[in-house]
A and B are shown apart, each in its own frame.
Chain A
Amino acid sequence: MTELVDLFFTFSRIGVLTFGGGYAMLPILQREIVEDKKWAEDSELADYFAIGQCTPGIIAVNTATFIGCKRKGVAGGIVATLGLVFPALIIITVIAAFLRNFADLQPVKDAFAAVRVCVCVLILNAVIKLGKSSVKDTVTLIIFLCVFLLSFFTNYSPILWVVLAAAAGILVKGGRRA
């Protein structure tokens, strides 16, 4: 029981300390999980992270579930994940409730109109960065372009393109090494 409580609060702390998720979380996991708690070794953490990337869902959530599961089984996996998302629930709710009251003020509208421009640039940078690691050859370039154009110009759910892409990867590569 005490270890479950410990899991919850350790991952809550990781949730508060992480800005941005994904790779931003790795150094914090290293400090909290490997150095401080000694719940895993560096190489194990790297494995969890790699597996977190090739399972569905948010990488940060997947990694938390893995580590919790390793410590305390199913209950540990659930508790660690709940710990991770708990701070977001509090922080975002407070900010959202606060902003809701001021959303109609002109300065707030002005601020967000410019912030949305900043969001465009952040997304562009993310796409460039992800593109460099995911578009590696002709096949991946074709998949990128097809999904981009089909998703932009049609209204089908992204789920369709995800399922088709996974199928395409298996069909094109067969049982060979990727």
Chain B
Amino acid sequence: MIYLKLFYEFAKIGLFSVGGGLATLPFLTDLGNSTGWFTPADLANMLAISESTPGAIGVNMATYVGFHVASLPGAAVATLGLVTPSIAVILVIAHMLKRFQQNRYVQNAFYALRPASTGLIAAAGMGVVSISILTLSDYSQTGNLLNLVNWKALVLAVALFFAMKKIKWHPAAFIAISAVIGIVFHFGS
């Protein structure tokens, strides 16, 4: 039953991901690897769309992955799965908010959870780098170190990195510019 499985998997993500934004990315990477529902490239594409559309990134990603796996009902079920643990946890602690927030054990757990979440996102990011900037299959075929990197992609990455430092546009603007550059310079071939 694909819907039950989707709900269960996204409920797990909702329960164990900490923080906002990209916090769900490492869990989704793991989900793709273990179920085969989507490839790392699919996930990176979905992340780009999720960053460029209104709404919280985590919610958008859940909706997109759910749709990718099982169309509109899948999107609804995955999103409901994601938010169910949040609702449950918060309704339980709502009447003792302050005490919960100031509890030393909770604070100490989150003191360690935040760098852990950052580490997980960094590792998931390396996964995206390995499929979009590195060309590991070319390298293993030829053994030539020059074939390890997709040079067009690397130049774009460095240019984008410095452009984002200089110009404080919304990520969606840089994603749109990248799409145009990709079409003009045939990044897909």
Give A residues with C-beta under 8 Å from B. 15-23, 25, 47, 50-51, 53-62, 65-66, 69-70, 74, 77-78, 81-82, 84-85, 87-89, 91-93, 95-97, 99, 106-107, 109-127, 130-131, 133-135, 139-141, 143-149, 151-152, 155, 157-159, 161-163, 165-170, 172-178
Contact = CB atoms under 8 A, between A and B. Distances in A.
A75 B128 CA distance: 40
A167 B60 CA distance: 30
Nearest to B67: A96
A58 B24 contact: yes
Contacts of A167: 109
Interface string B1-33: 000000000001011111111111111001001
A169 B113 contact: yes
Interface of B: 12, 14-27, 30, 33-34, 41, 44-45, 47-51, 53-60, 63-64, 67-68, 72, 75-76, 79, 82-83, 85-87, 89-91, 93-94, 97-98, 100-101, 104-129, 131-133, 153, 156-157, 160-161, 164, 170-172, 174-175, 177-183, 185-189
Given A131-B118, A148-B119, A177-B107, A96 B68 contact: yes
Given A61-B82, A85-B79, A111 B97 contact: no
The main secondary structure of chain B at its interface with chain A is helix
Contacts of A122: 51, 171, 174-175
A126 B22 contact: yes
Contacts of A115: 44-45, 48, 175, 178-179, 182
Contact of B14 (A56, A96, A146, A157): A56
A62 B19 CA distance: 10
Given A134-B118, A157-B27, 9 more contacts: A22-B21, A55-B89, A85-B63, A113-B182, A113-B188, A114-B153, A114-B156, A117-B157, A162-B17
A172 B55 contact: no
Contacts of B90: 55, 62, 65-66, 69, 77
Contacts of A118: 48, 156, 160, 171, 174-175, 177-178
A173 B133 contact: no
B58 A178 contact: no
Nearest to A158: B26
B79 A89 contact: yes
Contact of A107 (B19, B44, B183): B183
Given A21-B20, A22-B20, A123-B125, A158 B187 contact: no
A143 B112 contact: yes
Given A18-B56, A92-B50, A172-B112, A119 B85 contact: no
Contacts of B187: 110-111, 113-114, 117
A19 B54 contact: yes
Contacts of A139: 112
Contacts of B33: 155
B148 to A, nearest CB: 16
19 contacts: A17-B54, A19-B54, A20-B170, A60-B56, A77-B87, A77-B94, A88-B79, A110-B188, A116-B41, A119-B47, A127-B122, A130-B19, A131-B115, A143-B119, A149-B123, A151-B120, A151-B123, A159-B27, A177-B104
